[in-house]
Amino acid sequence: MARFALTVVRHGETRFNKEKILQGQGVDEPLSETGVKQAAATGVFLNNVKFTHAFSSDLIRTQQTMHGILEKSKFCKDMTVNYDSRLRERKYGVAEGKPLSELRAMAKAAGEEIPVFTPPGAETLDQVKMRGKDFFEFLCQRILKEVGLKEHFSQGAPSKCLETSLAEIFPLGKNCGSEFNSDSGTPGLVASVLVVSHGAYMKSLFGYFLTDLKCSLPATLSKSELMSVSPNTGISLFIINFEEGSKVLPKIQCICMNLQDHLHGVTETG
């Protein structure tokens, strides 16, 4: 069995987020001044976490957020970031660059509601979900391959330091019981992955975890939190358990979803 941590962060605020204008993939807007502050605050919050991998959407707002997080890190300042188009926001076709109210009007005219409504040239929800599934399966396979190589070259067992660094700021023991007790016999985390992505994409990915992979949730998570889109730089943490060559689906435990404790001191600009 292999276990790894997956920390997923939404990008910081852009001017278009504030103005409720759809960006999707075609509008590549940079972070606003508030967004830069949010990314820096996220970096300070996560600065003691030892990440082993970093993946980001290749759009400007996510790249800038990832940079803002890593530059505050004590351990990961110089780590290589993998920019992956599978982590991009949902493509909204003709609605990109237009106000959200216009998308609602288009959906109403078609007798549908958002987010189910697919504007001309946009991705369907199923297509977004398949991108998320493809990325997640790729990530699991990559980590399994790396674990196999480490074992082959006898580089030692996974250390407890990866989860210790997470446990300093996330309620691991509270949600996972004895799993995070170093005497429980549970193997240590083999990787700690940081992903920076987008609101609608993350909602789709988390939906896949919950519906298809039967992700377990903390008791404190309300249904409204579960159904809502992450705020800018909201942080979600999952622990993934999976077995090499097994046809059994990975077991996923949600530690927190759309956390925004780190933003209390961040004030909006303008």
**Computed from CA positions of residues 188, 7, 146, 129, in that sequence, does the dihedral angle turn out positive or negative?**
positive
d(CA 62, CA 88): 9
User: Of residues 89, 96, 123, 163, which has the active-site annotation?
Assistant: 89
Residue that has been written with the tokens 């990975």 in this structure:
250
Q: List the catalytic residue out of 11, 53, 198, 262.
A: 11
Q: Which long-range contacts (CB under 8 A, 24 or more apart) does 154-160 make?
A: 157/187, 157/188, 158/187, 158/188, 158/189, 158/190, 159/188, 160/188
C-alpha distances in Å from residue 55, one per residue of 119, 141, 227: 29, 15, 24
Asked if 158 and 192 touch (Cβ cutoff 8 Å), the reply is no
251-259: strand order across its sheet: 81-83, 53-56, 191-197, 2-10, 235-242, 251-259
89 given a catalytic annotation: yes
Which CA distances in Å does 206 have to 6, 68, 112, 237, 268?
A: 12, 24, 23, 11, 28
Q: Is 11 a catalytic residue?
A: yes
Report the catalytic residues: 11, 89
